[in-house]
């Protein structure tokens, strides 16, 4: 009858309202999750989330015997950039650096900002030779970045990169990062703007 038609036509209105509320809540949850896992300045994963994702990849590599590499990057003379040109320019350099990494690296590679001007990249399915090629390409691309300055000038900057690969099934993310960090400081000690693999001098 007519009353049943009216009743049935009212039902979708209530359902649509519920679906809208759920959609809004899901969107808010996604945003909160993004804020909890990413660095607010660069959009790279924050330290905690990077370590968690990297640990999963390292465990997978150990289980299946797949290659894996880790890069540590540090902006050369970053304090000088901030002191000479201001923190806004320094922030712009970090944002451009992260964008360059995204364009240069693969979707499966994990990029994290560990703090300050220091970043880490985990390269799944990548052996030492492949990682060296990737790191060198990344170093070269970053050196081409130009940050606009007042007066029509532009700022160029460089990075030093350290590389490490697992040496056994007991190699953890923390050990890999420590080895890559050691290689990074070797690269800096030898003149900066270069790539150094752990246990291998830059050439």
Which residues are the active-site residues?
Answer: 117
CB under 8 Å to 104, separation ≥6 — which residues? 134, 137, 138, 141
Q: Which of 59, 41, 149 is nearest to 97 (CA)?
A: 41
User: What secondary structure letter does DSSP report for 152?
Assistant: G
Q: Round to whole Å and give the CA distance between 198 and 180.
A: 6
Q: Round to whole Å and give the CA distance between 3 and 7.
A: 6
Question: Bridge-partner residues for 154, per DSSP?
Answer: 148
């Amino acid at each position: 009858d007519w009353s049943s038609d009216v009743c049935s036509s009212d039902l979708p209105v209530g359902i649509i309202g519920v679906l809208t509320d759920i959609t809004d809540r899901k969107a808010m949850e996604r945003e909160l999750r993004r804020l909890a896992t990413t660095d607010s300045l660069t959009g790279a994963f924050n330290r905690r989330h990077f370590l968690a994702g990297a640990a999963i990849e390292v465990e997978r590599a150990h289980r299946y015997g797949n290659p894996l590499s880790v890069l540590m990057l540090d902006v050369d003379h970053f304090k000088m950039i901030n002191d000479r040109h201001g923190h806004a320019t320094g922030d712009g350099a970090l944002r451009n650096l992260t964008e360059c990494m995204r364009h240069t690296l693969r979707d499966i590679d994990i990029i994290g900002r560990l703090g300050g001007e220091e970043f880490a990249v985990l390269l799944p399915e990548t052996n030492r030779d492949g990682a060296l090629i990737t790191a060198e390409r990344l170093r070269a691309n970053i050196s081409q970045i130009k940050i606009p300055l007042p007066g029509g000038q532009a700022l160029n900057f460089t990075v030093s990169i350290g590389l490490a690969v697992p040496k056994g099934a007991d190699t953890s993310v923390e050990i890999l990062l420590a080895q890559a960090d050691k290689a990074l400081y070797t690269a800096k000690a030898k003149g900066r703007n270069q790539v150094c693999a752990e246990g291998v001098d830059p050439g």
